[in-house]
């Protein structure tokens, strides 16, 4: 197992939830950390609460600014020198039925969750190739492996990430580049509150499954373990992880189980 201690890690979606918790746990390991999200005030709060704030830098980032990614990446590399790990964590979920959802909601889900992540990945890839070192850690979801009602566009974007990063791993293994896909189940974050509804507005309320999910600090420690073990994929959650195996071996049973569930 390779230790993450002392590595330089760039985290997107670092202003809350998984990204915030990950920043604190990496801070305990003496990592140099670059925090990115859209809101600087939130990033400053996370930095101030970090174990070693002097080892934390802030770089605001909007995943929908595709063309700005090369300049942002150059700026990121200038903060601590070569970046060892990019954590593609930023994203937005969905809670709406297909028939009721405006098309522009699907566009935004794909732009943020897939295309923005790909744009940033493409921007840093030449640096990783040049260094013969680099680890892409992309937070997808169990929804990247199977579907659930009210999450069609979100599922589509997460499935797309799996396809892209599986191929990136194949094409750039020769360059010393690693890829780990992290697939969360239910985690105690604001993902449900921030989820897009049919007209693109936020849902603004939580759900029982999310509230009863894994504590986010525990999730972050499990995520770090998966990174250090250089996992190709890691499924992190509770009973909902059974969906992975049902999808593989008993897809019709999974279909029935999901339809019977009250998760929204």
* Residue boundaries of the structural domains of the chain: 8-260
Sequence-distant (6+) residues with CB within 8 A of 203 are 95, 192, 193, 194, 195, 196, 197
pLDDT of residue 29: 97
Please list the active-site residues.
154
pLDDT of residue 264: 67
**Three-state DSSP class for 3?**
coil
Cβ-based neighbour number of residue 81 at 10 Å: 10
pLDDT of residue 199: 96
Distance CA 260, CA 121 (A): 38
pLDDT of residue 60: 98
Ranges of residues in the chain with a pLDDT under 50 are none
CATH H-level superfamily of 8-260: NAD(P)-binding Rossmann-like Domain (3.40.50.720)
pLDDT of residue 13: 98
Long-range contact pairs involving 55-61 (C-beta distance under 8 Å, separation at least 24): 55/27, 55/30, 55/31, 56/23, 56/27, 56/32, 57/32, 57/33, 58/34, 59/10, 59/34, 59/35, 60/36, 61/12, 61/36, 61/37, 61/90, 61/120
């Amino acid at each position: 197992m390779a230790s993450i201690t002392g590595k330089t890690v760039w985290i997107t979606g670092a202003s809350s939830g998984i990204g915030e918790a990950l920043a604190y746990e990496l801070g305990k390991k003496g990592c140099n950390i670059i925090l990115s999200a859209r809101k600087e005030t939130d990033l400053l709060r996370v930095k101030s609460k970090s174990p070693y704030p002097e080892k934390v830098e802030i770089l605001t980032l909007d995943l929908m600014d595709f063309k700005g990614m090369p300049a942002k990446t150059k700026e990121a590399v200038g903060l601590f020198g070569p970046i060892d790990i990019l954590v593609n964590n930023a994203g937005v979920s969905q809670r709406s039925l297909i028939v009721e959802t405006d098309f522009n909601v699907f566009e935004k889900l794909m732009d943020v969750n897939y295309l923005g992540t790909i744009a940033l990945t493409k921007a840093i890839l030449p640096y990783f190739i040049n260094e013969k070192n680099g680890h892409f850690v992309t937070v997808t979801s169990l929804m990247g492996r199977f579907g659930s009602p009210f999450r069609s566009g979100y599922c589509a974007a997460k499935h797309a990430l799996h396809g892209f990063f599986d191929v990136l791993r194949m094409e750039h293994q020769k360059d010393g580049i690693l890829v780990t896909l992290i697939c969360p189940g239910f985690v105690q974050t604001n993902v449900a509150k921030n989820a897009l509804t049919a007209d693109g507005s936020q849902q603004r309320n939580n759900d029982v499954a999310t509230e009863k999910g894994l504590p986010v600090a525990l999730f972050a420690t499990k995520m770090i373990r998966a990174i250090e073990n250089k996992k190709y994929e890691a499924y992190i959650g509770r009973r909902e992880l059974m969906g992975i195996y049902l999808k593989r071996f008993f897809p019709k049973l999974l279909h029935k189980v999901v339809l019977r569930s009250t998760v929204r």
